[in-house]
Structure 1
């Protein structure tokens, strides 16, 4: 076999994966970008002649839409509150599991991971009962200590916090496993050297554990941030964006415009606004990461 044929072998192996990535990822993105500059709706799917190129009208209309502006505010609220809670609670769980025996750690890993693989509809049914204002468990427990019932899903602000609580509980499993794997990959020789030097637990945690987990933390933060910007399932199944669009997220807004109201061009424009927001947030994370590595 000559050298040219040998050079083609790697491309033959990665070819199918690249082709699938192009067909099912890049092409839909490009198609959605084209659609965002048109007035495509349900009528346009039946008769392409009714589709008109309208330029940036969809984007201009978006930022004049009070519902969309509110969904941006709601999404930022989810990100600002949800991301630190999700990352912090996952790290705490991983640290606790790292100190218990192997069989107990395995048992609790399964317990904490189960919500991550449980169907969101089943979760919504259970949490719907918990949050029920009249008969829910949470309000019953509050009544035991003579505290009035809380409108968990009826008040816009409390509803957002309720959805965040549910989403954090559901998402802890995956991040916890990543943190736990990072913890167990830290060489014990570092801690032994710290013990010889007389370091206490807090010093070992801040000087050895956290720096050694920097890449895992960075990965969890970036993926969690992207996930919370795409916050969709919880408001969709629990509140449908209500009350008064108080829990509506950008992702849910896109779904409503594209699949409930059949405004495909308008929904595609909203999806690209979300796409740009996610790209900017991710680039900022990488910028901070590179800055920390150069220090």
Structure 2
């Protein structure tokens, strides 16, 4: 009994912080999403009305919400596999016996993760500028006409995806590197003695042994990519023609541009429901694959 009390005593500060700065805001946002809290209610609380699920129903009828959701799903569907492939490939290169200067390359590849998003996004805007950007400068020497990377609706989102993959793959790379280093070397030595090619070693040893790590990385990456905001906010401001407007960007516009705080809270909880459903689907598919 004394151990239980001591455990709760040590946990109390952390639980208090989580309750005040996480649980209470979540409950308040949920309550806010059931009202029409806007600029008028902010000026006079008597203008506040309870609308139940009205905000959710209105959002589901808005084409802009479905468009933003489509852009977000596109970003996740393309960005997550690219990010995981870049992360796993970099980790395998760093884990290779032939790799040299590993600490330097680990630091260099991880550096974009800890760099401020706004700062590097501004740099990427200059790199992909239509007139004097480095990307079009290289294309010009190859005889290719300049591309309006951030001003063309067809190229804006792929450019943001490339930036997000470059910015975030280093974090997953470190996790994959730790998973690769935990695989016993004896398995690879036995496979080489049996004549297994590098591809067969990767398919039958590396991938199965990394399965729990890949599941965790995929869940973290999917949940992070669903929260797309900073990249389009700095690089394109949701344009051109709202082609890079994400669900989180829509929430920002609703809450801090139009001051429809009730609608913005509803957007946040709809995004949470979608992320929760996708995560549960991933876990279910993984368990089905393990049992089959």
TM over 0.5: yes
Name the counterpart of 1:73. 70
Asked if residue 194 in structure 1 is aligned to residue 170 in structure 2, the reply is: no
Alpha-carbon shift at residue 154 of structure 1 (Å): 0.7
After superposition, the C-alpha distances for 1:172-224 in whole angstroms (9 at most, x for unaligned) are 11000000111111111111221222222111111111111111111110000
C-alpha distance in 2 between matches for 1:117 and 1:101 = 27
Asked if residue 212 in structure 1 is aligned to residue 241 in structure 2, the reply is: no
Name the counterpart of 2:10. 13
For 1:139, which of 121, 124, 136 is the aligned residue? Answer: 136
For 1:178, which of 150, 166, 175 is the aligned residue? Answer: 175
Report the CA distance shift for 1:293/1:14 in structure 2 as closer, same or farther (over 3 A): farther
Correspondences of 1:1-295 after superposition (within 5 Å): 4-99=1-96, 104-295=101-292
Name the stretch that deviates more: 188-197 or 71-80.
188-197
Report the CA distance shift for 1:151/1:100 in structure 2 as closer, same or farther (over 3 A): farther
Unaligned runs of 5+ in 2: none
Name the stretch that deviates more: 96-105 or 195-204.
96-105
2:251–2:267 Cα contact (<8 Å) kept: yes
C-alpha distance in 2 between matches for 1:203 and 1:102 = 21
**TM-score (norm: length of structure 1):** 0.95
Alpha-carbon shift at residue 13 of structure 1 (Å): 1.7
Name the stretch that deviates more: 101-110 or 267-276.
101-110
Alpha-carbon shift at residue 256 of structure 1 (Å): 1.0
C-alpha distance in 1 between matches for 2:63 and 2:193 = 62
Unaligned runs of 5+ in 1: none
**TM-score (norm: length of structure 2):** 0.96
C-alpha distance in 2 between matches for 1:176 and 1:231 = 20
Alpha-carbon shift at residue 103 of structure 1 (Å): 5.2
**3-state SS, counterpart of residue 138 of structure 1:** helix
2:175–2:213 Cα contact (<8 Å) kept: yes
C-alpha distance in 2 between matches for 1:156 and 1:215 = 37
Q: How many residue pairs align between the two structures? A: 292
2:93–2:99 Cα contact (<8 Å) kept: no
Report the CA distance shift for 1:6/1:127 in structure 2 as closer, same or farther (over 3 A): closer
**3-state SS, counterpart of residue 131 of structure 2:** coil
C-alpha distance in 1 between matches for 2:256 and 2:110 = 32
C-alpha distance in 2 between matches for 1:95 and 1:102 = 10
C-alpha distance in 2 between matches for 1:264 and 1:100 = 55
Alpha-carbon shift at residue 96 of structure 1 (Å): 1.0
